[in-house]
Structure formats: C-alpha cells, structure tokens
Structure 1
Amino acid sequence: MPYMKRSLLLTRNTPERVELDTTIGPWPYPQRIEYYDDFYYINRETFRFKIVNNSQLFNCDILLNAISRYNDLIFNNFTLRNNLRLKELHSLEIYVKGGCEQWPRLDMDESYTLDLLQKNLLSSRSVWGALRGLETFSQLIDKNFIINKTYIEDFPRFAHRGLLVDTARHYMPMSILLRNLDAMAYNKLNVFHWHIVDDNSFPFVSKLFPQLSDKGAYNKHTHVYTPENVKTILEYARLRGIRVIVEFDTPGHTLAWGKGIKDLVLDCSSVSKQYSGLSLKGSGVLQVTKESTYDFLKKFFGEIAETFPDEYIHIGGDEVASECWTNNGQENLYQLYMKRFANIIKELRKKYIVWQEVFEEDLYMHPETIVQVWKSWTQPEEVTRMITERGFRVISSASWYLDMISYKKDWIDYYKYDPHTFYGNQTQKNLVIGGEACVWSEYIDETNFLSRTWPRASAVAERLWSSKHVADSEKASPRFDRFRCLMKERGIPAHPINGPGFCEHFVLPISDKWFSEKQQHNGVVFVYASKATLTSFLVVCGLLMILLLLVLRPTIKQLVRK
C-alpha cells in the first residue's frame, strides 16, 4: 500500500533494534510497492550489478554507464561494518528483454519490476526501464546501507514528462545544464525542452549560419553553445534516457535572428508590450512575405534536423505581433507562414510541437501535431478539451510555471494539479501525453536556476509518473523532504519546500575551475563537480596548512619567547 511505514527491525539473532527512517520511499512513487519487515545489508566491497541472460547488453553503453553511475551514487560514503548481522545482498541481477536502443523516444517502454524478495532481480523490457529501476533501487537504500526486502512493479502514467529551460533570456553554462540533466534523471523526467534562442539572444552556433550567434549572442565567445556543446548535451541526456527537444520559436520571438541575417526579421519592439520585464508579445517577427525567408528556413532547419535526433522539433508559434506585418490584401500572413513552414518541417521528416496560439488562431496543423497548453488565465482545461476534441495531442504546462515563485509551500499547488482535470471522454484523456514544468529565465541565471527549479519540479515529476491516486500532499510531504535532502547529497542545491528543517549535507558553490572531473564517453568529455574532488581539495589544503605551520614553527617560538 502507498506510504506504508517501515517497522522497527528486530531479528531473532541479535538483540539490537534499528529504527529506519519512516520517510524513506522512492520519488516519484511507484505504481505498486510492497515492503516486508526483513532487511539486507549491502557491502560496497562485495556488491555487484550483474547483467544476465542477454549477451546483447554486455557492451550496451547506456546500461554500463548507468551501472557505473549508480554504483558511485550509492557508495559515495565509507562503508559501515555490518554490526547487525543482517543477511548480505551480494548482487542485483539486471535482465533486459530487448536490445540496446540508442535514442529515447516518445513511445519508449520505461516499465520495470524490482524483486528484492527472493530473486534480487531488476527486470524490464527495455534499457530505459532498467534506468528507471536503478534509480528506484538507489533510493531504497538507507544511509547505513540497509534495504528492505521490497517488491515493485512500476511504469509511468504519462509518456512525456518534461522540463523547459530557457537559455536565451539568460545564458546557462554547460555545467548547470549537465547538473540539471542529472536532477531530471533522479526524478524520472524524460524530456529536456531546450528553449535555446529568443528575441534576447541567439546562443546556438550554426555551422551553416555562424553569423546568427556571432551577432545575436550576448557574447560570441563565452555565451554560446557550440556544436561540441550540443553534442555533449545530447549524449549526456541520451545516457540518462532523456530526450532533447529543441525549440526554435517562429515566426515571433525572432529579434535576435535578424542581427545576423539581413532582411529576415521585422523589429516589432514598438508594438511588443512589456509588463515587469516580461514580453507580452515577441519583439521580432520573420518577414513571411519574402521568398528568401523560406530559403533560409529550409537550410537552417535542415541543419537542426540533422543535429537533434528526436523525431520532434518545437517550432513555437506563440505571441506573434502580427500587427507588425503589412497585409497588402494578402491572405492571413500568420496562416500563410504556418502552412509553408509546417510543410518544410514535414519534408525534413520531422514532426512538430506548437504553443496553443496556433490552435486558437485556427492555423494550419498536420494531424500529428502536438499542442502545448500554457496560458493559465484562459481556462486551460477548456482549451485542452477543445484541442483533444479535434483529435490533437496535448502537453500540459499551464499550472507548472516554476519561475513564478511565491513565499509559501507552492509545490503543493503543482502536486495537486492533474492534466486530466477537464471534461472529456477517455479517448480525449488519452490524447494528453503528459506535461512540462517551465523555467523561463527573465529573472533566472546560473546563480539561482537549480535552486529555483528543484525540488519544485519534483512535484510535477511525481504527478506525471505516479498513479492519480497518489495525490495526498500531506502524506507525500515527509517523503518529499527526504528526497530533497537526497538531491542535496547528490550535489543539487534543492531549496527548502516545507519551511524550517535541515539536511545533513550542504551544497556549497563549486567553481568549475578548481573542482572538476572529466569523464570521457564516445568521444564526448563531461565536466562536472564532484564530492570526491572537493574532499581531495580539502585534504590538500589541510596538508598545506600543516606544512606551513612546520615551516613557521621556529618563527612562532621566537615570537612566543619575546
């Protein structure tokens, strides 16, 4: 049953009694979980993950990388002695029925079964399910390396569980984006919606059109994402079962594009209203009546289609200052553009996602188009009903704008919102493929992005993964507190969400210049901060202090005598 409390441990062979943390439980909560009042002890010196019964996976980079990663996460402290004389868990066998898939996708199978009763087996149909099962297994282990005998059957409620990150209004360094991908994996989120450019800046470095970032980025040397950076993000996400869906918002929000390409964009700043630093309409629109615009789009998005392997591209379509166009008696220019551009995307063998304005304006959409609902003030439930009534799929975001903060337990509001809270039949409900938490960066940069996002995005993660019946925020609260502390232990500066309290671990600011480790995989170098590096640095500092005192000892003695 959900939220079952762990009882006190009392064995026949020992008089010791150990009270385990009653808040321990996976986040997000599994579909089915059974705890038993019997326990294993795990010893890092003897414990092993073992891939069994599928030789295709012996060289599977996704699974091997995950095993190495979780081995480090689980055993990041010194191993304690087993003074309780518990039975030792020597291994967890991993059986994956399918092969080593290369790229995560919308219809990937993330289900898994974790049997720690007799088999000590993690089984799944795909490598993606194995990744989710490993995360759950890592969360079940107590800080003393004790784990319940547990049986779990689990799968996500929604296929699309995303996080939008805006890197245009404020640039986000690579180290922040990589650490955020780690946090997403801990929460079983599987879509990184990369809102990579906007009116304010164009940090994406195009091979075909380098002038876009040369002229459009805040700084063409330091505030850009090079092809190597993009490759790193894609690979880092792939190994964690996370899709990268890039968004190049058009025809609006394109002012920065025009700095690098002549006659591509109209400056509509005069009709773009501002409220407290937020744009209510994009400041630039593409010149949709020029044939040169479509020639550019074919070439540029051809490069994007080759760079980003996911079958979907987000093409935006929101907040278009259409009054900036001169119609000259032509048909609806917004409609003209969307029809031509949609066909360009289709010719590139990609599918696309749009913001809800494209639907509201009754613009052209291919049947497989996905609509992202985001306007919290325009009855999003009714909009969702109308979209699904016409047979289009929906991503829900209206209630999950994490950049809009308040001084309260706002995670409860995120936790209680359900994407299915609209009037519709089961066919319509099934067209809601999931949701995304959104972090827009008008007032967010590398100094506060991670703490603003986490663990508030975790509330969304559980809503999108767990059963609709797991919705009691009061019961979830102590488990949520513990999960926040676990994220801090793993290096994510997750901020307090329930008022006063504490975690045993601190997350201190870490400079990439001094505290970094490099891990190379498939030719991609990952740079990330680690506790091991910090510990080594502190040890070196301590040794230097001792050496300094030895050197200065005679001088100190003379001063004391005087």
Structure 2
Amino acid sequence: MAHLLDSLSSISNSNSFNKETVGNVVDLSDVPALKRLNVNVEQPCEQWPSLESNESYTLAVEKGHATLNSVSIWGALRGLETFSQLVYPDEDLLFAINETIIYDFPRFQHRGFLLDTGTHFISLKRLKMNLVSKFDEAMAQSKMNVFHFHIVDDQSFPYDSITYPGLSGRGAFDLNHIYSQADITELLEFARQRGIRVFIEFDSPAHSRSWGRAYDILTKCYSGEQPNHKQGPMDPSRNTTFEFLKNFFYEVAQIFPDRYVHLGADEVYFDCWYLNYISYGEDWHKYYMCDPLNFTEFVDSTNVISTTWPRASAAAERLWSSADVNDVKEAIPRLEEHRCRYLRRGIPAAPVNGPSYCRTEYND
C-alpha cells in the first residue's frame, strides 16, 4: 500500500473505491508515499483512434512509484483509467493505493454504444455527458471506445449538411434541433481526447423520409397502377438518387475521420416496424449475458444518462474482459461500486441492484 501525494491525488480526486473493498487495513502510519506515476508510450501518438488501435497496457504499482507502459496513447488512456479506479480514500492519508501488477487488454477492439438522435433530439451537452467529464467519463470510465452516432432517421434530419443544407433546413424537427458543423467538430475532438471513435450512421435507403422533405430522392408509391401519393425508401431507379448520395457521402468522408460509416440498411419495405424496449432495476443481467441493443424511441435528453448508466457498463465489462468473466453474481458488487463511482464523478447513474446507498450521493 502507498500514500498518494497531492500531485497524484489530483488525478483521481473522488475517482476511487471504498476503503473497505480493498481489505481491512489497521495501520497506515508507516506506508510509503507514492511520489510519481511514470507513463511510457512506445509508439508516436496517433491523431485519431481506429479499429486497429492497440489498447493494451501494463500497470505496476510499487513502493514509492508506479509505472504505466503501453504501445499506444490509447492504451495509456485505458491504463490511467484503471489507475484512477485503484485509488481509494483514506481518512488519515487522504488517498491510498495497493501494490499491484496488472497486464490488461480488451477482448474486442470495437466496444460501442449507440445513441439515436433522429427519433429524439439529444443536445450536444448530453452527448458529451455520455462520452466523458462532469459527465466526463460515462463511456471512458467503462473503457468503451466507439460512439455509434445514429444521427438521422425518418422523423428528423438534424445534421447540418454543407452540400445539402435543405436536409436539416426542412428535415429537422426545427432549426433549434440541429447539430451544426461547429457542434460536430467539438464532439469529434471531445471524443478523440478520450480515445473514443465517432462511428457515424446515416440510415438509408429506408428510414429516410426526413431526407425527402427537401430533395426528391424517395420512391413514389403506387396502389396497383395508380400513384397513392405516399413515399417509400430511396428510389434506386433514378440516376439522380445516386448522384445525390455520392455528393453527400463525399462530404461525410471529409467531416468524419473514422474509416467506417454505417448505412443502416434495415427495414427496406413500406410497412416498417420498430422494436422498443425500456426497463428498469436488475434488467442489466440480460445485457451482461448477451449482446445488448436499445432503440431510443423512449429516450431523449431528459433520461438518456440514467437509462443508460450503469447498465451499459455491464456490456462494457463483457466486451473488455476475458470470455470466462461472465458470472452475474460476481458482477453485482462490481457494478454497484461502479455506479457509486459515477455518482462521485457527477454522473447520475441509476440504481440497478435494489435497495442500497452510496457514501457520496448525486448532487446536481
């Protein structure tokens, strides 16, 4: 065990385990001071994280010093998050940490979290809450590394296109529910600094009614041989549709740095169906045992944080950890502890394990 000096305690102020979770320590009067954490990154810093990024790291905490070694800057970020979670408060010494050696790496390179802003607009502030800082580390604390941004849908087109400004001008709910180019740039940089990829989705060729409010690219529907004045998915029979998509996705490739774009491509028929699922309490057990999916017809800025966290952390643990880390009973105290950590960091994560309390409650 070591006592953290002020220079290190500032890294992990209120990011910690409860003291009793790390053992019964009687006397801390003669423990050595942890004077520094040395971080060594082998490769030059990449500008953007990618699917191929190496997130592995080694963390050694010894008497007087700690060392974090990683291949890439993204591995260093994951290791720093682990370091902050190893630190716990002590009544006499302010903060303390146990000696340990950790070799860690993710099971999956893509550990994503999807938000749909086409059915319900979610403000930039709330989007940043999910990525990180006073709402600063919801994804980063759980070592998720992909923000799957389902930005448009039938209901609205909130992306402010440079090439086709009418898409948001006529396709958004209104002009107050639009992500400007400045918003997108800020979000991309905000995510990059925390090692999170922004994986953009422009749902097509179905779920595209909002596209057709300003541009004539949708299929004209018929009842028998007569037009019925309804519209279907994007019309593949006209060359103008493909020219439109070519120009639009050229812009998307210039704005979003990730190598991948999601096109949705689901439900390409006229009578669409939706899956809506929202629940509470110990429902996270289902997410822990399988791949979770949450459509957001009932989620917006008012409840996206408490609905998502810490439930998504259950999936995040499965995506990062070894395949044999899958016992729900063993995960319960970890998720409970992680929820309390969220509250200490200012994230209003909901209770998920029944009656309990955290020493530090959320205070907006």
Which band: TM-score by shorter chain?
0.7 to 0.9
| Closer/same/farther in 2, CA of residues 74 and 481 from structure 1, 3 Å limit | closer
| Closer/same/farther in 2, CA of residues 123 and 269 from structure 1, 3 Å limit | farther
| Mapped contact 2:4–2:96 kept (Cα < 8 A) | yes
Shift of 1:260: 1.4
After TM superposition, the structure 1 = structure 2 runs for residues 146-157 of structure 1, keeping only pairs within 5 Å, are 146-157=96-107
Tell me what 1:524 maps to. none
| Mapped contact 2:149–2:198 kept (Cα < 8 A) | yes
| Closer/same/farther in 2, CA of residues 323 and 411 from structure 1, 3 Å limit | closer
Tell me what 1:142 maps to. 88
Shift of 1:306: 0.4
Tell me what 1:253 maps to. 207
Q: Is 1:215 matched up with 2:170?
A: yes
After TM superposition, the structure 1 = structure 2 runs for residues 528-547 of structure 1, keeping only pairs within 5 Å, are none
Match of 2:5 among 13, 36, 43: 43
Match of 1:129 among 75, 85, 108: 75
Q: How far apart are the structure 1 equivalents of 2:300 and 2:50?
A: 29
Shift of 1:304: 0.3
Q: Is 1:187 matched up with 2:60?
A: no
Tell me what 1:205 maps to. 160
Shift of 1:468: 1.2
Tell me what 1:392 maps to. none
Tell me what 1:114 maps to. 59
Q: How far apart are the structure 1 equivalents of 2:35 and 2:211?
A: 57
| Mapped contact 1:115–1:152 kept (Cα < 8 A) | yes
Tell me what 1:231 maps to. 185
Q: Is 1:103 matched up with 2:48?
A: yes
Task: Give identity over the alignment, percent.
Answer: 46
Q: Is 1:265 matched up with 2:201?
A: no
Shift of 1:146: 1.2
Between Structure 1 and Structure 2, how many residues are aligned?
336
Letter in 2 for 1:84: S
| Closer/same/farther in 2, CA of residues 224 and 230 from structure 1, 3 Å limit | same
For the residue of structure 1 that corresponds to 2:75, the secondary structure is helix
Q: Is 1:299 matched up with 2:247?
A: yes
For the residue of structure 1 that corresponds to 2:102, the secondary structure is strand
Deviations 1:372-396 (A, max 9, x none): xxx9xxxxxxxxxxxxxxxxxxxxx
Tell me what 1:159 maps to. 109
Tell me the TM-score normalised to structure 1 length.
Answer: 0.57
| Mapped contact 2:112–2:146 kept (Cα < 8 A) | yes
| Closer/same/farther in 2, CA of residues 310 and 212 from structure 1, 3 Å limit | same
Shift of 1:498: 0.5
| Closer/same/farther in 2, CA of residues 95 and 291 from structure 1, 3 Å limit | same
Q: Is 1:415 matched up with 2:288?
A: yes
| Closer/same/farther in 2, CA of residues 308 and 320 from structure 1, 3 Å limit | same
Q: How far apart are the structure 2 equivalents of 1:505 and 1:287?
A: 55
| Closer/same/farther in 2, CA of residues 457 and 83 from structure 1, 3 Å limit | same
Tell me what 1:28 maps to. none
Tell me the TM-score normalised to structure 2 length.
Answer: 0.87
Tell me what 1:171 maps to. 121
For the residue of structure 2 that corresponds to 1:196, the secondary structure is strand
Deviations 1:166-211 (A, max 9, x none): 0010000011100100111010001110000000000000011111
Letter in 1 for 2:277: M
Q: How far apart are the structure 1 equivalents of 2:4 and 2:167?
A: 54
Letter in 2 for 1:482: E
Tell me what 2:151 maps to. 196
Shift of 1:323: 8.4
| Mapped contact 1:489–1:505 kept (Cα < 8 A) | yes
Q: How far apart are the structure 2 equivalents of 1:212 and 1:497?
A: 40
Q: How far apart are the structure 1 equivalents of 2:4 and 2:268?
A: 57
| Mapped contact 1:163–1:438 kept (Cα < 8 A) | no
Extract unaligned runs of 5+ from structure 1.
1-38, 49-67, 76-81, 271-282, 325-374, 376-400, 418-434, 510-562
Q: How far apart are the structure 1 equivalents of 2:68 and 2:116?
A: 36
After TM superposition, the structure 1 = structure 2 runs for residues 395-544 of structure 1, keeping only pairs within 5 Å, are 404-417=277-290, 437-509=292-364
Indicate the RMSD between aligned Cα atoms, in angstroms. 2.4
Extract unaligned runs of 5+ from structure 2.
17-26, 133-137, 224-230
For the residue of structure 2 that corresponds to 1:405, the secondary structure is coil
| Mapped contact 1:131–1:240 kept (Cα < 8 A) | yes
Letter in 2 for 1:239: Q
Letter in 1 for 2:61: L
| Closer/same/farther in 2, CA of residues 97 and 298 from structure 1, 3 Å limit | same
| Mapped contact 1:205–1:226 kept (Cα < 8 A) | yes
Higher relative contact order (CA 8 A, sep 6+): 2
Letter in 2 for 1:125: V
For the residue of structure 1 that corresponds to 2:152, the secondary structure is coil
Q: How far apart are the structure 1 equivalents of 2:207 and 2:109?
A: 29
| Closer/same/farther in 2, CA of residues 217 and 88 from structure 1, 3 Å limit | same
Letter in 2 for 1:251: P
